[in-house]
Homo-oligomer: A and B are copies of this chain.
Amino acid sequence: MRFFSDNAAPACPQVMEALVAANRLDTAYDGDQWSERLDGAFSDLFGKSVRALWASTGTAANCLGLAALCPPHGSILCHEMAHIEVDEAGAPGFFTHGAKLTLLPGQGAKLTPETVNDACERVRDDVHQVQPSALSITNATEYGLSYRADEVATLGEVAKRRGLGFHLDGARFANAVAFTGADPADLTWRAGVDVMSFGFVKNGGMNAEALVFFDPAKAEVVPRLRKRAGHLQSKGRYLAAQILAMLENDLWLTNARAANAAAAALAEAAGSERLVYPVEANELFVRMTPEEAASLRAKGYDFYDWGPGEVRFVTSWDQNMEAVGQLAAAIRAL
């Protein structure tokens, strides 16, 4: 059984049905009836007029958002383990034409207002130094922690005071909402977030993510950037339809709750001694000897090593809870 990655999971049935339903003649690019409903659907979700665009990957969504916030000569403050730094092949540098990522430390891949503020303090305001232009956080983080609304808000205050655009990598935003129970608005625009990537692919989508601008004016240039990056699909309705299907009846939340529940079951089995971080989404980082890991793999469980003496499990929307229970038992039995 695979606990490698939520990217390995299939698309959920409602998404497949939506693709079938959208499979008819319509206007090309994003002029179709599905794409045109995106702004409204996200505006409803966030309780605010927003501008929403589809993109086929989280990397594209993140970097189009960052390019809208940060000029080529600016820098983006982010955690040193942020996905945009560690796993996007330098895409931020490509989309921004060379802007820098300024890397900050922080427990569990979380930033604090202090580290952000200090990083700004260290930069001389002259032409020799790259000036901070944007702040980027990931919620849930790369280590499976969820920022609470007030944590985001204090970061938003620093961003505002420092004149930084505020970007949220929401590849697992659904998991953070599911875990915290917070209003999506409180985790985003009410906390000062300007733009977010809203992840669907890890959560049951096929190949559609959303890019949401809470200030539509900041999105103005983005349709051009998207096209210029080769991300304006000619049959965009198939992306929009996926997203709309997942927003309907809060399927995005339902799926995320399922993945979180699986992770929680494993976390309880692992116990706080073994857990490197509290489990607040659908990822677990677990201390385990190579022998212990081998014994689990011998039972058919697949997962990544994550540094010496640590392994990572990721759960998905479609996780079979019986199998999860068996893995939980196997972990308990180590």
Contacts and interface: CB of A to CB of B under 8 A. Distances in A.
A87 B151 CA distance: 33
A326 interface: no
A313 interface: no
Q: At the interface, is chain A mostly helix, strand, loop or mixed?
A: loop
Instruction: Quickly give the copy total for this chain.
Output: 4
B128 A88 contact: yes
Interface stretch (A26-34, A188-196, A261-269): A26-34
Given A91-B227, A225-B73, A27 B55 contact: no
Interface string A214-241: 0000000101111111111111001100
A206 B26 CA distance: 13
Contacts of A2: 25
A211 to B, nearest CB: 11
Interface residues of A, number: 72
Nearest to A101: B100
A56 interface: yes
Contacts of A224: 73, 89, 127, 131
A89 B128 contact: yes
A10 interface: yes
Interface string A74-96: 01000000000011111101111
A254 interface: no
Q: Of residues A5, A8, A89, A93, which shows the largest number of chain B Cβ atoms within 10 Å of its Cβ?
A: A89
A47 to B, nearest CB: 29
A227 B72 CA distance: 13
Interface stretch (A15-23, A141-149, A158-166, A243-251): A15-23
Interface string A99-110: 111010000000
A233 B221 contact: no
Contacts of A99: 90, 93
Contacts of A230: 55-57, 59-61, 63-64, 88, 91, 95, 229, 231
A308 to B, nearest CB: 12
A184 interface: no
A155 interface: no
Contacts of A103: 103
Given A227-B89, A230-B60, A29 B9 contact: no
Which residue among A25, A86, A100, A130 has the maximum number of chain B CB atoms within 10 Å of its CB?
A130
A97 to B, nearest CB: 4
A73 B90 contact: yes
Interface in A131-183: 131
Nearest to A19: B19
A7 interface: yes
A129 interface: yes
A25 B302 CA distance: 13
Interface of A: 2, 4-5, 7-11, 16, 19-20, 23-29, 55-61, 63-64, 71-73, 75, 86-91, 93-101, 103, 127-131, 201-202, 206-207, 221, 223-235, 238-239
